[in-house]
Amino acid sequence: MAVKALEVRSLTKKVKNKVIVDDVSFVVEKGEIFGLLGPNGAGKTTIIRMIVGLIGRTKGSVYVNGYNLDEQFKEAMSEIGAIVENPEFYKYMSGYKNLKHYANMARHKVTEERIQEVIRVVGLEQVIHQKVKTYSLGMRQRLGLAQALLHNPSLLILDEPTNGLDPQGIREFRDYLRSLTKEGISVIVSSHLLSEMQLMCDRFAIIKQGKLIHVSSMDLHNEQDQSLQNVVFEVSDVETAVQLLQENKLTNELKIVGDQQFSINIDKETIAIVNQLLVKNNVNVYGINLVTTTLEDRFLELTGKGKEEVKTSVFAN
């Protein structure tokens, strides 16, 4: 059986009588980006902190590239590069001296060439010799990524890695992660930016109140069900249109959604049939729109949150 980049089995964390993480299991394949999603307080950061050994586990085991975190801690940690919450550096030192400091502490030798390489890939060449106290939050995020990459890890674990980055920086960061996966590096990333995660990840897991409630491939999520699609018709006479559909037994999830609009769940061929039926009976059709389901929609469905609740919770910085 092929070795997984990361395997988490029955991960559990209790504090006194409160269960923070409840029997969570998942795997991250080699060369994939795996998203960890959930409302604030769902347990995402606690899971990440247990994986990297920052806090203890009440129950469960963690395997990194085949190494058991309990029995082969040094070997497992040598496979991981991580940014957990906001990266911290010596602010009175330059970015370069901070990287040099971390390189000197690495288990395996980190060459000057490697240091210069990661500086280039994170785009800090122009400021690397400035003191970190002069860096913006986005620049510190880039420096944190450089530090995590120094020792050539096989697994990157990133908790809210795009905090402080502008849209261009986020896109560059996403493209860079993609280039890493082509080299066989795996990434697990936690973020509240659901639209960005939809563009970034190969698979995702949703955590709610410490429990893993859903795991899916992003490809499967993005694919529209070709046998059944939610379609909105804009017409001249919505009441007549609905009556015609009822008479012809085309009523699957049929709803009036506006003065001139109705929605219905139908397959591709039936879209044409409905259109012909309406036109034949003198109901003008002004628009036919497929309703796509976003990752945010799926998240709201699975976590049972409303739009306003999400705005003040999941999407809060």
SS (H, E, C) 112-155: HHHHHHHHHHCCCCCCCCCEHHHCCHHHHHHHHHHHHHCCCCCE
Question: Is residue 34 included in any domain, yes or no?
Answer: yes
Do 274 and 258 lie in a common domain?
yes
Do 40 and 20 lie in a common domain?
yes
Do 284 and 176 lie in a common domain?
no
pLDDT at 312: 31
Q: Kindly report the CATH number assigned to the domain that includes residue 249.
A: 3.30.70
Residue 44 DSSP label: H
CA distances from 73 to 29, 77, 113, 238, 258 (A): 20, 6, 28, 65, 60
Residue 212 in contact with residue 26, Cβ under 8 Å?
yes
Do 105 and 194 lie in a common domain?
yes
Q: In terms of pTM, does the model score above 0.85?
A: no
Q: Kindly report the CATH number assigned to the domain that includes residue 121.
A: 3.40.50.300
Q: How far apart are CA 113 and CA 188, in angstroms?
A: 27
Question: Is residue 114 included in any domain, yes or no?
Answer: yes
Q: How far apart are CA 69 and CA 157, in angstroms?
A: 15
The three-class DSSP label of residue 98 is: helix
Of 38, 39, 16, 40, which Cα lies nearest the Cα of 26?
Answer: 38
Question: Is residue 310 included in any domain, yes or no?
Answer: no
Instruction: Name every residue whose Cβ is closer than 8 Å to that of residue 91 and which is 6 or more positions away in sequence.
Output: 131, 132, 133
Question: Is residue 302 included in any domain, yes or no?
Answer: no
Task: Give the Cβ contact number of residue 31 at 10 Å.
Answer: 16
Sheet of 6-15, strand order: 18-28, 6-15, 59-64, 67-68
Residue 283 DSSP label: -
Domain boundary among 168, 202, 222: 222
Do 50 and 91 lie in a common domain?
yes
Written as tens digits, the pLDDT of the chain (317 aa) is 678 899 999 999 999 889 999 999 999 999 999 999 887 788 888 999 999 989 999 999 999 999 999 999 989 998 998 887 677 899 999 999 999 998 888 778 889 999 998 898 788 999 999 999 999 877 888 898 889 889 888 999 988 777 667 777 778 778 888 888 888 889 999 877 777 788 888 898 888 888 998 887 776 555 544 566 788 999 999 999 999 999 998 888 888 988 999 999 888 889 999 999 999 999 999 999 887 666 666 666 666 654 444 333 333 33
Dihedrals phi, psi of 101, to nearest 5 degrees: -60, -50
Do 234 and 214 lie in a common domain?
no
Do 200 and 241 lie in a common domain?
no
Do 88 and 152 lie in a common domain?
yes
Question: Is residue 301 included in any domain, yes or no?
Answer: no
Question: Is residue 299 included in any domain, yes or no?
Answer: no
Question: Is residue 90 included in any domain, yes or no?
Answer: yes
Domain boundary among 202, 222, 242: 222
Do 167 and 271 lie in a common domain?
no
What residues make up the domain containing 179? 6-222
| Count of structural domains within the chain | 2
What is the total residue count of the chain?
Answer: 317
Residue 209 in contact with residue 44, Cβ under 8 Å?
no
Do 284 and 196 lie in a common domain?
no
Do 160 and 247 lie in a common domain?
no
Do 167 and 203 lie in a common domain?
yes
122-133: string of b/e by CB count within 10 Å (b at 16+)?
A: bbbeebbeebbe
The three-class DSSP label of residue 111 is: coil
| Residues paired with 263 in a beta bridge | 232, 255
pLDDT at 241: 94
